[in-house]
Amino acid sequence: MAVESSLRMVAKCCYFVLMVERNKHLANVAFGGAWSEEISEREALGVIMEVLFNAAAQCGEKDVRDRPLADALDYVYHNVEKGPMLVAGFQKALLEPLPDVREVRVKDYADMIAVWAGY
C-alpha cells in the first residue's frame, strides 16, 4: 500500500514537472501565431470537462458540489456560448432527488457543455 502511494506521488510530481517545462517551452515561442495559446486553452478545457464528467459519474453516489466543480462551472458560465443557461441546467440537475435520474441529467448537461465548448 505504501509503495503504491509513493508511486502515485512520483507520477504526480513527474506530470507537474513536465507541464512546467512544456509551459516554459511554449513561453519562448516568438512566432507562429496564436497556436501556443490555443494549446493551453484546449488543455484547460480538457481539465474542466474532466471535472464535469467526473461529477456526472459520481453524483448518484455522493454530493459532488465542491470547489473544483464550482470553478469549472464558473469557467463555463463566462467562456462558453450559452454558458449561463447550461450552468443553470447543470446545477438544477444536481438537485434531482432520485440518484439514477440525477446522474443521467447531469451527464446530459455535461455532454451539452462539451458540444457548446467545442470539446
> What is the end-to-end Cα distance of the chain in Å, rounded?
36
In this structure, the answer to whether residues 75 and 119 fall within a common structural domain is yes
Residue 27 is predicted with a pLDDT of 52
In this structure, the answer to whether residues 71 and 118 fall within a common structural domain is yes
Cα–Cα distance measured from residue 88 to residue 109, given in angstroms and rounded to the nearest whole number? 10
In this structure, the answer to whether residues 24 and 42 fall within a common structural domain is no
Cα–Cα distance measured from residue 104 to residue 100, given in angstroms and rounded to the nearest whole number? 6
In this structure, the answer to whether residues 42 and 2 fall within a common structural domain is no
In this structure, the answer to whether residues 45 and 91 fall within a common structural domain is yes
Residue 12 is predicted with a pLDDT of 42
For the chain, what is the domain count? Answer: 2
In this structure, the answer to whether residues 20 and 41 fall within a common structural domain is no
Q: Which of 69, 79, 66, 68 is nearest to 110 (CA)?
A: 69
Residue 40 is predicted with a pLDDT of 81
pLDDT digits (tens, 9 = 90+) for 5-24: 444 444 444 443 344 445 55
Range of the structural domain that residue 23 is part of: 1-30
Helix axes 83-94, 99-117, angle to 10 degrees: 170
Q: Which residues of the chain fall short of a pLDDT of 70?
A: 1-39
